[in-house]
A and B are shown apart, each in its own frame.
Chain A
Amino acid sequence: SQQGEEDPQALSIQEGENATMNCSYKTSINNLQWYRQNSGRGLVHLILIRSNEREKHSGRLRVTLDTSKKSSSLLITASRAADTASYFCATLAGGTSYGKLTFGQGTILTVHP
């Protein structure tokens, strides 16, 4: 079963606007990661946040984690047309072997120039 549920399923914005995507999960986690997938290609790792962290930044990306609500959000600031892609959250469940990430269904982001 899918560990992560993402919201919204699709998001359409104008260049320069901020994009926020949310991810909820079901079990306790070791860490939560966000990946990006351009159409027809493999996934690329964006950012990882550990279960004892609440917020993390990387360039125009900001990730928050609320373990009490079992949810995370990814904020992309000042979006660009090149940010158009699918974004997935992935969790490593607590006590689980490495190599065993569980992915959400993804959010399709379209940034219009």
Chain B
Amino acid sequence: NAGVTQTPKFQVLKTGQSMTLQCAQDMNHEYMSWYRQDPGMGLRLIHYSVGAGITDQGEVPNGYNVSRSTTEDFPLRLLSAAPSQTSVYFCASSYVAGVSGSETQYFGPGTRLLVL
């Protein structure tokens, strides 16, 4: 299994440009999430999905769109890039184990985004 894959690894954008960060998982996980990581801020949740066709907002959703047409893919779209969106973006997938309801998230390697 490849696990969680993200593309591209690094991207430079100009202010106002749009782009899509790709995320795919091959573990048939039900839940998928997008986080951004900024220095000294830990990870902050952007959007998450509880299954194909179902998405919801996290802590910092403004300026980002998501969709989940399949279980495997969860792309993150930047509508009009701003310098404040310069960050490292992580995608994660998870499943809930048994009756305990324990969830473990599996992370991709991240995409470094620089907005000029």
Contact = CB atoms under 8 A, between A and B. Distances in A.
Interface of A: 1-2, 4, 30-31, 33, 35, 40-45, 48, 50, 88, 90, 92, 97-106
Contacts, number: 78
B107 A99 contact: no
A80 B109 CA distance: 24
B50 A98 contact: yes
Contacts of B71: none
Given A42-B110, A48-B102, A99 B90 contact: no
Nearest to B48: A99
A30 B49 CA distance: 19
Given A41-B110, A42-B109, A99 B100 contact: no
A92 B42 contact: no
B43 A97 contact: no
B42 A105 contact: yes
Interface centre among B35, B90, B105 (most CB of A within 10 A): B105
Nearest to A92: B103
Nearest to B35: A103
A84 B33 CA distance: 26
24 contacts: A2-B41, A2-B44, A31-B101, A35-B105, A41-B109, A42-B90, A42-B110, A43-B43, A43-B92, A45-B105, A45-B106, A48-B103, A90-B105, A98-B31, A98-B50, A99-B105, A100-B58, A101-B103, A101-B105, A103-B42, A103-B43, A103-B44, A104-B42, A105-B40
Interface string B18-54: 0000000000001111010000111111001110000
Interface string B90-116: 101010100011111111111000000
A38 to B, nearest CB: 11
